[in-house]
Structure 1
Amino acid sequence: MSFKGFIKTNYLRFIYINFLSVVSGVAAIGAGYVQMYWLTYIKDKNWLKVVISSLLMGVLYLAAQGMIYYIQYVMRVQEEEYNQKVRNKLTTHYFKDGQAHKVSAVQNRMTNDLEMVRNNYFDWYPIVLFYGSMFVTALVALLTINWSIFLLSLVVDAISYFVPKIVQKKMEQATNNVSAQNKYYLDVLAKWFSGLEELRRYFAGAKLFEVDKHASTKIEQAHVKQTAAQQQMIILNGICNMLSQLILLSLTAFFVTKNLIIFGAIMSVQNFAANISIGLQQNIQALSYMKSSKDLMNQVDADTKVIKSEESGQTEAPVAFSTKDLALKFPNGESLSFPDITVKPGEKILLTGDSGAGKSTLFKLILGNLKPSHGKIEFLNKAGKLIDPDMSRVGCIPQDPNLFPGTIKENITMFNNQLNDQVSKVVDEVNFSQDLPKFKDGADERLNLDDLSISGGQRQKIVLARAKIHDSDIILIDEGTSAIDQKATMNILQKLVKSKTTIVFIAHNFNEGMRQLFDREIHLTKE
């Protein structure tokens, strides 16, 4: 996320914003410059020139004020278009980087972080142009009135520029802290509210309230600290502004009494001095806000980098695999070691083991969702040769299947319309055909994930059908029939073992009849 990317969103509109911002600032000072002569004309009772200057002054004021609101509108259009591009890049990056991202972190990045950058960076950009043009134009106006007033204004403004830098670093830290605490709060909500029913069942609401209060307090404190840093900046700017106006007004009054400048200058110089001071302070404030967002913008930019596909040989569909010296070390120091495993093409393996022995973790390693600390996994094709595997041909049915907003059919085909004709066949193979009449639109029933009127067993059947329809030559099933009754499970297993598909099945509480359907059992032990 960068200023350059913001410009590229629409070059012509960006130039237009710049032009209007500068014209608006110049018009505001122009009105003040005309006012200087307007006051002098009143003093001299030159009423014709009073009327003309009044009209000109009004036009300039209207131009300045009217443009400000219009600029805000045009700026928002540019911001929203740019944010949409950034969100698209974030989505593409998260999809292709192969990392397991926390939902709360993704939510925070795509909403809160982009909003913070907009508020603290891009919203301030036209302010820099507007007040910057006011600052320069007011200096030129003072120079035309009296060179000594101009020089004094430069000295005062130079001092005003450096004073607010005292809190600039503090603002940057406060902005980053708000982002970090918001991400933490979203993570807490995701972890605790995902088990809301369990908390209700055991009347553990007190713990939920305690955790929520603790997390929300942190984000509140982060916002308070950010506001405190921002207010310190505003206070310093105000003090500098007041002192500079007082000094310049005193000098102007002295020159008027000596008839060195015209009478109307006493008010206009005050206005110019105020505009110079305000222009400088607003620019300092704006640049401080913008600088405080740079670190966050760099973080967002890192998450929008294009993921280049690694050059590799052509992938093939794997039908078998083996593991060698496989081990995984966790950040807390614990580790898991796995025995060497060889699974032949078409084998039906029952994977059992102690709780915590790493059965589900082994699946994640095979799928590439986790990287092993030691050892390797090798995949083989039908000829028994090592290959670079096409992982889309490795199916996985987890304990808690993932469904997506869409129809039952789309969840089976994973939105590939070319597979629609095969849906009826696979739903029969996984014993789901008898469930479809329960839905008003059958396979075309659209799932409402917020109010999922579908059982856990039906969800598992949908995901199992998903693996079958995509011609998965290897299917990893992690208690994928745990929510299906034993009779239906036996029916599904009997159909699965008759297929040529290589199957590794994690299960508990299998009866002897189910066990006998498998070629062999691999038992993992916890060391």
Structure 2
Amino acid sequence: MNFKDFIKTNYFRFIYMNILSVISGAAVIGAGYVQMYFLTDVKNKDWRGILVTVLLMGLLYIGTQGMIYYIQFEIRIQEEEYNQQIRNKLARHYFLDQRNHKVADVQNRMTNDLEMVRTNFFDWYIIIPFYGAIFVSALIALLSINWMIFLVSIVVDVISYFIPKLIQKKMEQATTNVSKQNKYYLDVLAKWFSGLEELRRYFAGAKLFKIGEQASNKVENAHIKQTAAQQELIVLSGFCNLVGQMLLLSLTAFFITKNAIIFGAIMSVQNFAANVSIGLQQVIEGLSFMKSSKELMGEISRYSSVINKNEADGEEPPLAFTTKNLSLNFPNGEKLTFPDINVKPGEKILLSGDSGAGKSTLFKLILGELKASTGKVEFQNATGDTIIPDMSRIGYIPQDPNLFPGTIKENITMFNDQLDSRVEKTVNEVNFNKDIKKFKNGINEELDLDKINISGGQRQKIVLARAKIHDSDIILIDEGTSAIDQKATMNILEKLLNSKATLVFIAHNFNEHMRQMFDREIYLSKE
């Protein structure tokens, strides 16, 4: 995420908006310059001059205000277009980087972080040419009135430029901390509100409220510190502005008494000096705000960088896998150690073991969702050669299947229209055809993920069908039939075991007959 890409969103709009911004800034000073002659004409009772200067001031002020509104509107369009590009890049990066990402982190990055960058960077950049034009035009106006007044104004402005730099680092840290605390808050909400019904069941609301309040307080304190840093910058700049205006006003009064400048300058010099200070102050503040966003923009850039995913990556369909010296350490000091496992192509494995021995964790290590502390997982092709696996060819049916907004058919095909012709056959293979008939729209029934219009068993059948229709070479099933009745489970199991896919099935409630249907059983013990 950078300024160059923002400009590329629409070169033409960016250029003419900046030109208009400069023109509007210069027009503000132009109106002030006309005011100087207006006051002199009033003193001299020159009614013709008064009428002309009033008309000129009116045109300049109205034109400037109109341009400012138009600029704000057009720039907001550019901001939204650019943010949309960044969101698309973020979504693509998160999809292709093969890493697990917390939902709260993704939400924070795509909403809060982009809004912070917009407020602290892109909303400020267009203000800089406007106030920069005011600053330069006001200096020219002061120079045209008296060179000494101009010189004093330059000295004051140089001091005003360097003083705010004292708190620049503080502003950067405060901005980054807001993002960090907001991410933490969203993560807390995601973890606790996902189990809201359970908390209600056990009347544990007090704990929820306490945790939520603590996380909210951290966000509040981060925003307060950021505001405090911003206000320090404003106060410092304002103090320099006040001292400068007092000096210039005194000097102007002196020159008027000596008839060195016209009477109208008494007000105009003060206005020009104020505009010089305000122009410089706003430019400095704008640059400070923009610089404070650099670190956050760098983070967004890392998570929106392009990841090219193509067939040339050397990936092959995996048919078998082995684990060697595999273990996983947890932050609390616990450790899971797994035996070396060698699963051959087409083999059907029943994975069982003690509670907490790491059966589900082993699947996540195989899928790459977790990174092992020691050891590795290797995949092989049909000839036993170690390969870089095409992970899309591994089907995974977790205990709590993931479904998406869409129809039953779309959740089976995963939105691949080319697989539509195979849906009916696959539905029959997982014993789902009778369930389909119960829905008003059959296979085209829209899933309501909020009201849950399907049962747990139906959810598992959809995901089983998903793995089957995508011709998964390896299928990992974690209690994937726990919500399906035993008769249907037997029917599904027989078809799965007769398929060519390599199958690893976690189950606790299988009888002896069902166990004997597998080639072998691997039992994990908890140390």
**TM-score (structure 1 length as normaliser):** 0.97
Which 10-residue stretch deviates more, 190-199 or 507-516? 507-516
Aligned to 1:359: 359
Q: Where in structure 2 are the equivalents of 1:302-317 lying within 5 Å?
A: 302-309=302-309, 314-317=314-317
Aligned residues: 527
**How far apart are residue 455 of structure 1 and its match?**
1.2
The alpha-carbon deviation at position 374 of structure 1 amounts to 3.0
- For 2:213, the equivalent position in structure 1 comes to 213
Q: State the shift of 1:309 in Å.
A: 4.6
Letter in 1 for 2:425: K
In structure 2, what is the equivalent of residue 392 of structure 1? 392
**1:44 Cα shift?**
1.9
In the TM superposition, what whole-angstrom CA distance separates every residue of 1:382-401 from its partner, at most 9, and x where no partner exists?
Answer: 34443333222211101111
Give the Cα–Cα distance (whole angstroms) in 1 for the partners of residues 109 and 407 of structure 2: 29
Alignment of 1:245-264 (within 5 A): 245-264=245-264
Q: SS state of the match for residue 316, structure 2?
A: coil
Moved more, 516-525 or 464-473: 516-525
1:146-161 equivalence runs, <5 A: 146-161=146-161
Measured at CA, do residues 405 and 311 of structure 1 come closer, stay the same or move farther in structure 2, by a change above 3 Å?
Answer: closer
SS state at 2:420 partner: helix
Identity in percent:
72
Deviation at 1:98, TM superposition (A): 0.9
The amino acid that maps onto 2:92 is: T
Match of 1:111 in 2: 111
Instruction: Report the residue type matching 1:293 in the other structure.
Output: S
Tell me the CA shift for residue 465 of structure 1. 0.2
Distance 1:451 1:311, change over 3 A: closer
Residue 121 of structure 1 aligns to a residue whose secondary structure is helix
- The aligned amino acid for 1:410 is E
Inter-partner Cα distance in structure 2 for 1:510 and 1:131: 75
CA distance in 1, matches of 2:258, 2:388: 90
Match of 2:199 in 1: 199
In structure 1, give the amino acid aligned to 2:318: P
> Cα offset for 1:324?
2.4
- What is the CA deviation profile of residues 162-218 of structure 1, one whole-angstrom value per residue up to 9, with x for unaligned ones? 222222222211111110110000000100111111111111111111111111111
Distance 1:308 1:217 in 2: 41
Report how far residue 287 of structure 1 moved. Answer: 1.4
Consecutive unaligned residues of structure 2, counting only runs of 5 or more, are none
CA shift for structure 1 position 314: 4.1
For residues 428-452 of structure 1, the C-alpha deviation after alignment (integer angstroms, 9 at most, x for no partner) is: 1111111112222111111122222
Is 491-500 or 105-114 further displaced after alignment? 491-500
> d(CA) in 2 for partners of 1:143 and 1:136?
11
Letter in 2 for 1:377: V
Q: Distance in 2 between matches of 1:104 and 1:398?
A: 21
Q: Deviation at 1:489?
A: 1.5
Correspondences of 1:61-76 after superposition (within 5 Å) = 61-76=61-76
> C-alpha distance in 1, partners of 2:391/2:513?
32
Q: Whole-Å Cα distance in 2 between the matches of residues 412 and 309 of structure 1?
A: 23
Q: Which residue in 2 is equivalent to 1:285?
A: 285
Q: Residue type of the partner of 2:162?
A: F
**What is the SS of the residue equivalent to 1:323?**
strand
Cα distance between partner residues in 2 of 1:504 and 1:456: 21
Superposed, which structure 2 residues align to 1:37-48 within 5 Å? 37-48=37-48
Counterparts of 1:488-527 in structure 2, within 5 Å, are 488-527=488-527
Residue 396 of structure 2 aligns to a residue whose secondary structure is strand
Range that drifts further, 508-517 or 416-425: 508-517
Q: Which amino acid aligns with 2:448?
A: N
Q: CA deviation at 1:474?
A: 1.5
Deviation at 1:341, TM superposition (A): 1.4
The alpha-carbon distance between structure 1 residues 158 and 313, as it changes in their structure 2 partners (threshold 3 A), is: closer
- Within the alignment, does 1:60 sit opposite 2:60 as a pair? yes
Distance 1:210 1:406 in 2: 37
Deviates more, 1:325-334 or 1:199-208: 325-334
Alignment root-mean-square deviation, CA: 1.6
Change in CA separation of 1:162 and 1:386 when aligned onto 2, cut-off 3 Å: closer
Partners of 2:104 and 2:475 in 1: CA distance: 30
Q: 1:102 to 1:143 in 2, by over 3 A?
A: same
Equivalent residue for 1:80? Answer: 80
**CA distance in structure 2 between the partners assigned to 1:97 and 1:332 by the alignment:** 27
CA distance in 1, matches of 2:179, 2:313: 41
Read off the aligned partner of 1:19 and give its amino acid letter. I
SS at match of 2:158: helix
Deviation per residue, 1:219-243 (Å, 9 max, x gap)? 1111111112222222222222211
d(CA) in 2 for partners of 1:433 and 1:364? 30
Does residue 1:131 correspond to 2:131, yes or no? Answer: yes
User: How is 1:418-437 mapped onto 2 (pairs within 5 angstroms)?
Assistant: 418-437=418-437
* Long gaps (5+) in structure 1: none
Between stretches 289-298 and 462-471, larger displacement belongs to 289-298
Shift of 1:68: 1.2
Distance 1:407 1:269 in 2: 71
